[in-house]
Amino acid sequence: MQSVLIVIHLMVVVALVVAVLLQRSDGGALGIGGGGGFMTGRGQANALTRATGILAAVFFATSILLSILASIQNKPRSILDGPAGTQQSAPAVPGAPAPGGSVLDQLRQQEGGPPTPAPAPTPAPAAPAAPPAPQQ
């Protein structure tokens, strides 16, 4: 429904632009219809004015309908929820990888391959020895 209404809206926009540009330009403005020939009579000017008014009314109606459809489809939610449909959980330890391992491990698991073995923990460096006490 919404895509059909968008197509109708775009056709009305193009027709409205053409109708405005075809009108006679009294002050030398942007209208292309001021040179005479096509649509020069008084009756044609009234027809273009009416067509512009009707197209403008249809433009406003389709704009309002599109905004109503958009508001119906988007349910209100809290901004604290984050992006739509995602639940973000922080790792328990800052700097620790996610529960599934690193991103590379997760990609390998999705492809069906074995995860890479975790590297052996490196021992912590020994504390430096206390400097000798000064002798007197």
In a domain, 8, yes or no: yes
Q: How far is CA 112 from CA 82, 83, 97, 99, 116, in A?
A: 31, 29, 20, 18, 12
Residue 111's pLDDT band (boundaries 50, 70, 90)? confident
The type of residue at 134 is P
Output phi, psi for 101, to 5 deg.
Answer: 95, -165
Number of domains in the chain: 1
In a domain, 5, yes or no: yes
Per-residue pLDDT reduced to its tens digit, 117-127: 666 677 777 77
Per-residue pLDDT reduced to its tens digit, 6-49: 999 999 999 999 999 888 766 555 555 555 555 555 666 788 88
In a domain, 82, yes or no: no
Task: Tell me which residue range forms the domain holding 71.
Answer: 1-22+42-75
Q: Quick one: pLDDT at residue 72?
A: 83
Per-residue pLDDT reduced to its tens digit, 93-104: 555 555 656 777
In a domain, 52, yes or no: yes
